[in-house]
Amino acid sequence: MAVSADRSSSLAASEQQSGASAAQVQTALAEAAGVSLRAVTKAYGPVTAIENLTLDIPAGAYCCLLGPSGCGKTTALRVISGHETLTSGQVFIGDRCVNQLPPAKRNTAMMFQSYALFPHKTIWQNVEFGLKMQRLPRAERRDRVAEILELVGLSHTAERKPQQLSGGQQQRIALARALVTRPQVLMLDEPLSALDENLRVRMRGELRKIQKQFGLTFIQVTHHVEEAFSLSDQIVVMNHGHIDQVATPTELYNTPASQFVAKFIGDNNIFPGKVVRCESGSNRSDGKGLIELAVADLGRFFATGYPVQPGTEAACCIRPDLLQLQLAQPEIQQPETSAESDGQGPVNALRARITQVELTGYVTRVSLMAEATGQPLLHTLRTADWNKLALQEGQTVLLKWSAHDCVFLAY
């Protein structure tokens, strides 16, 4: 999984690609607004889809609601847009509570999975449709449609029908139709799910470029982890109607907050255990300290996190790319704790057997099994580095990782 790098590409570059001037971008759309949920609950009879959600999405941010099917992310999106009424709580768009406002009065727009373009209408007519529903004068409709088609680089398709466009062009037309109404917030319900993988990757870039260009607040629902990492300023991980973690992509990747998040976002190696002791984090700016866990049949592992009460059931995790691997010596048994230190704290270690080696190109995935417990583990490294190790399936190795890199999972 790749975490997106710095996304601060200049507005001028985006505008040059789309053929739009800075003045056009500034006048084409309404000012972005932040979105706030306060103790929001939505129940369908005895079934609670989302419960007590409190969330702040900054104005101009690209936010992804991420989670498995049925976790409540689409319900949350529909509550914000006004397509579902609240059971309790408040929704704010900007500084305005919109609980009692219908969708058309919330100054938001929705882009659906299927794009929902009218097949019998031209591209111009599709984009113009929302403005007609707003009963805007013909001259204003004409100016707005021409402007937005130029901004998305598809003026030349105005007289075509949707079926005459590629999947990527249809997506941009669906975006244009949503943006032409000048919303403060654009909501996207899995807009890439109908695309093949290659087009999906290309369209991620298009979405991000358009969001940066217009400076709008985008809220997107997805269950695709890589998609959320590549697009977002803010990721909201949901599980069973609750929010498990709100973080930037980098924060989420490096420090998942729970066992569920660690499992959902990737191939983290997770070790459940019981907290033995905690060191105070008073010497660190983030308040985190060294935590020692007793992991059944594997010994004592050290992780970094916020202190909790000794005896607490918890876990720790380590990303597969942060493991170090070396051939184990037969006389060395499974260590209870490691006496080594890397200068930042103890080094954890366990014996494991290589069960499968999968070459994926630049990266090699090495599947292993913990010798003492049979727990499956994963190590990833550059293929060039794997080749230097000259190891094979069936061999026993020693896995090591720093307590500094090992994340404590309190729940």
Distance CA 368, CA 354 (A): 4
**pLDDT (0 to 100) of residue 362:** 95
Residue spans of the chain under pLDDT 70:
1-30, 194, 281-284, 330-344
For the chain, how far is it from start to end, CA to CA, in angstroms?
24
Same domain assignment for residues 201 and 84: yes
Instruction: Tell me the three state secondary structure of residue 83.
Output: coil
Verify that 135 and 28 share a domain, yes or no: yes
HSE toward the beta carbon, residue 96, CA cutoff 13 A: 11
Residues 204 and 348 in one domain: no
* 202 falls within a domain: yes
Residue 206: give the domain boundaries.
11-253
Do 40 and 154 share a domain, yes or no?
yes
Do residue 221 and residue 315 come from a single domain? no
Same domain, 233 and 371: no
Q: Each residue of 375-391: pLDDT tens digit?
A: 999 999 999 999 999 99
Name residue 192's amino acid: L
Same domain, 283 and 231: no
Give yes or no: residues 191 and 338 share one domain.
no
CATH number of the domain encompassing residue 179: 3.40.50.300
**Whether residue 243 is found in the same domain as residue 280:** no
In angstroms, the CA 372 to CA 403 distance is: 21
Q: Pick from 229, 253, 277: which residue ends a domain?
A: 253
Q: Report pLDDT for 353.
A: 97
- β-bridge mates for residue 220, sequence order: 64, 188
Token pair, residue 36, equals 């706030």
- The verdict on 162 and 283 lying in the same domain is no
Number of structural domains (the chain) is 2
Sheet holding 185-189, edge to edge: 108-111, 185-189, 217-222, 62-66, 234-239, 242-247
Would residue 260 count as lying in a domain? Answer: no
Q: Which amino acid, residue 229? A: F
Q: Is residue 49 within 8 Å of 75, Cβ to Cβ?
A: yes
In a domain, 262, yes or no: no
Q: Which residues fall within 8 angstroms of residue 369, CB to CB, at 6 or more apart?
A: 352, 353, 355, 375, 376, 377
4 inside domain: no
Quote the pLDDT of residue 77: 96
242 lies in the same domain as 378: no
Any alpha helices (H) in 45-137, and if so which ranges? Answer: 73-81, 123-133
Report the 10 Å Cβ neighbour count for 122.
16
Q: Are residues 239 and 277 in the same domain?
A: no
At 152 the pLDDT is: 81
Domain with residue 394: its CATH number is 2.40.50.100
Tokens of 28: 């084409």
* Model confidence, pTM: 0.84
124 occurs within a structural domain: yes
Outline where 152-196 has alpha helix (H). 167-179
